[in-house]
A and B are shown apart, each in its own frame.
Chain A
Amino acid sequence: MLLELHDIQKRFGGVTALRGANLSVAAGEVHLLLGENGAGKSTLMKIVAGIVERDAGRMLWNGSEVSLRTPPEAAAIGIAMVHQESMLAPHMTVAENIFLGREERLKRDLGWVNRRRIVERARRLIEQYNFPLDAETRVDRLSPAGRQLVEICRAIQHGSSLLIFDEPTSSLSDHETEQVFRIVRDLKARQMGIIYITHRMDELRAIGDRVTVLRDGETVHTGNLAEVTTDRLIQYMVGREVAAVYKREHLAPGEALLEGLHLSVHRSGLKDISLTLRRGEITGMAGLIGAGRTELCRALFGVDPIDAGEILVNGKAIAVRTPRDAVQAGIALVTEDRQISGLALRLSIAMNITMANVERISHWGILDLRAQNRMAAELGAKLRLKTVSPGQAAATLSGGNQQKVAIAKWLFRQASIFLFDEPTRGIDIGAKAEVFELMSELARRGAAILMVSSELPELLHVADRILVMRQGRISGELPRDTTQEQIMKLAVMESAA
């Protein structure tokens, strides 16, 4: 075995993150690590990668016990991690990031970092794996998907024998996911060991050999993937039966709440987009990364104001020049990147929930804190938010619960038009089902919903109809009983219809 972990334990203050985790990985194996958020996957991997030290338990590397105190120590013996959240230097180029901290390998004599050589080597690496990346782009201009690819390049070039992927595809489109899979298979063929954390149950079979499931900091199952059903795995993860994780009744849509007519935004490449969001309807939105889905949400929400076209809310044309205009028209945006644009992490849950509608808890500019806490607690209970108190900082919540807070903010605002951009990104199955339930409930109560998602099975389950975008345009509309193949066709090809 390349790596063996026996009975690993870890506590953070009063919280037990790991109470007995076991895991073993062989060379040339893709080992899936599953578990809900908070199950301890990330902590366990941080221990392996030398970011966190274990309290107890044994870690064997090629049969001998090791203790890793820092990431460089782990890198030195051949362990590298592809992080879920970007750990890149945003103001540097792709090439510089790939070789950050590794410049000494490239320097010529006098200790100069040779820029041209770095760019060249980065280019070769990128070409070798066929990534859609430019070595000289600054990282802050990249989409989340692009950043993820840079992280992967970084880990690969370090020449490791064990690679840890922490949800590499959570922000990627299907096309890009396929590329990541190709890379993983390629690395596996080179006899590397791979630990692969994912929340996407649909992609397990495409990639994994063996699987380990963590629940509440303990290993509850380890075995060959071929010998276990997906339902069984979900059951191990959540510890209960999951009957039909998401199923919703479809209602006849009502009148149009939001209409976009011939919308164009030059700087983000949106061209002549027309769409209608109706009361009681969940409109799905599919497309590859870079097709313009997030950009459309930003345009409708006033982040990138439209250059041409018209936005109508309740049949009346309104000017949406800033997010404030959109919010006042009843539009809500649940962003793809909730830690960056969704939540004020250092503030309390109650403060986050009431943030978009402080007017509701204040008179003449003076806050009614009792009303705030009561209303936030009510909303929290309704969303089954797992918290100690509404005074707790939002940063202490798991991904799923943070997403609920981000949504609760708009419920508190009583918005009627919801734009959900990748609403289930990085959250566990239990929370996903709850987010879908919430969206259905909103639709039932007469909200109009746009749901952007890269997870086609989710779109097919939840949406009433599906719009597909390609290169800044809407390339087609499909009914809810369509297939993944139909969607992909519209997403990648010239007018398939």
Chain B
Amino acid sequence: MKIDSRVTQRLLPFLSLAVLFTALSIASPYFLTANNLSSVARQTAVFNTMALGMTIVIVSGGIDLSVGSMLGLSGLIGTMALERGYSIVIGVAIGIVVGTVCGFLNGLLVTRLRIPPFVVTLGTLGIFRGLALIFSNGLPVHRIPPGFAFLGGGNLLGVPFVVWLLVLCAAAVHFLLEHTRLGRYAFAIGSNRIASVYAGIPVNFHITAVYAIGGALTGLAGMIEASRLMTGQPTAGQGYELQAIAAVVIGGGSLNGGEGSVVGTLIGAFIMGLLSNGADLLNISNYWQQVIIGSVIILAVTLDEMRKRRAV
């Protein structure tokens, strides 16, 4: 009982990641090469960034099903700005702003209409995707300055730029969750919303803020994705919301709110990234990969629940 329960909570996913890593190193000679590892990092960067935002939302007791569409819309509008000749920094900033506005809208709907976030974001999932298709006429944006490829594909000091970016975002979100008033309120609201209202916490304001921050990170993920593909695809990000949610949940987050951590989410996202990379290296078919990843999600949450039941 000496160990903080939140430490043990992180232990299990971490062990799974280590086991998976070791197993893949033995099973495939190509796994432990710089090339392969950096490609895994690039592949998971998009999910990871989204999943960081999803972590705050889930901790606060919410859920955001619209992030996949949001990613598509942000990436599209960001690249449209680049196409019109705005600088790369401005273009990326615009993508992030679009995500923030989308998240803010989700938060506003959740708190003002008082309907469950599952339903609100299911609705905006359709709305954001529709808007992306309307703005683009369904056509991808191609005329993008070549320098933009650096965001998703470049290296800085021998390490993929997205990894630096991810470390930065993860540190910021970790700090936000564990060391700021906003993060504390997110935990409180997620653990017991009524008690939070009774404690005088401005609950609606903070719920809205949480969705907006999640949106900002999704906007960034949208720009990374656009940079990796070097196109602004209105259909980008379809189904990504499930990957992001799965990463949070594998990492010990609870869909009931009040639980979740950045370290856990990162591990969750890497477990899924390694699984699909490993399956590729070992020539396991795409179809089977989906079966494996689905099973891992169920297994991870089952183990986590068993641990919690034993603890109380």
Which residues of A are interface residues toward B (Cβ below 8 A)? 13-14, 301, 303, 322-324, 326-328, 333, 335, 340-347, 351, 355-356, 358-359, 362, 365-367, 369, 388-389, 391-393, 395-396, 409, 413
Contact call B180/A367, Cβ cutoff below 8 A = yes
The reply to whether the CB of B187 lies closer than 8 angstroms to some CB of chain A is yes
Contact call A344/B192, Cβ cutoff below 8 A = yes
Q: Which residues of B contact A14 (CB under 8 A)?
A: 1
Contact call B259/A355, Cβ cutoff below 8 A = no
The reply to whether the CB of B258 lies closer than 8 angstroms to some CB of chain A is yes
Bound CA span A396–B312, Å? 6
Contact call A323/B198, Cβ cutoff below 8 A = yes
Q: Which of A13, A343, A367, A396 is close to B192, meaning CB atoms less than 8 Å apart?
A: A343
Q: Which residues of A contact B5 (CB under 8 A)?
A: 391-393
Contact call B199/A347, Cβ cutoff below 8 A = no
Contact call A324/B200, Cβ cutoff below 8 A = yes
Q: Which residues of A contact B128 (CB under 8 A)?
A: none
Q: How far is the CB of A243 from chain B (nearest CB, A)?
A: 34
Central interface residue in B4, B185, B310, by most chain A CB within 10 Å: B4
The reply to whether the CB of B84 lies closer than 8 angstroms to some CB of chain A is no
Contact call B179/A346, Cβ cutoff below 8 A = no
Bound CA span A396–B311, Å? 9
Contact call A341/B181, Cβ cutoff below 8 A = no
Bound CA span A366–B183, Å? 9
Our count of residue pairs bridging A and B at CB distance below 8 angstroms stands at 96
Bound CA span A351–B194, Å? 16
Contact call B312/A347, Cβ cutoff below 8 A = no
Q: Which of A340, A365, A409 is close to B199, meaning CB atoms less than 8 Å apart?
A: A409
Contact call B311/A13, Cβ cutoff below 8 A = yes
Contact call A344/B258, Cβ cutoff below 8 A = yes
Q: Which residues of B contact A413 (CB under 8 A)?
A: 200
Decide: A323 near B197, CB < 8 A? Known: A345-B191, A346-B259. Answer: yes
Q: Which residues of A contact B178 (CB under 8 A)?
A: 367, 369
The reply to whether the CB of B38 lies closer than 8 angstroms to some CB of chain A is no
Q: Which of A301, A326, A328, A351 is close to B188, meaning CB atoms less than 8 Å apart?
A: A351
Q: Which residues of B contact A328 (CB under 8 A)?
A: 200
The reply to whether the CB of B2 lies closer than 8 angstroms to some CB of chain A is yes
Q: Which of B4, B6, B199, B202 is close to A356, meaning CB atoms less than 8 Å apart?
A: B199
Contact call B195/A343, Cβ cutoff below 8 A = yes
Q: How far is the CB of B212 from chain A (nearest CB, A)?
A: 15
Q: Which residues of A contact B191 (CB under 8 A)?
A: 344-347
Contact call A356/B200, Cβ cutoff below 8 A = yes
Bound CA span A222–B192, Å? 41
Q: How far is the CB of A46 from chain B (nearest CB, A)?
A: 14
Q: Which residues of B contact A366 (CB under 8 A)?
A: 179-181
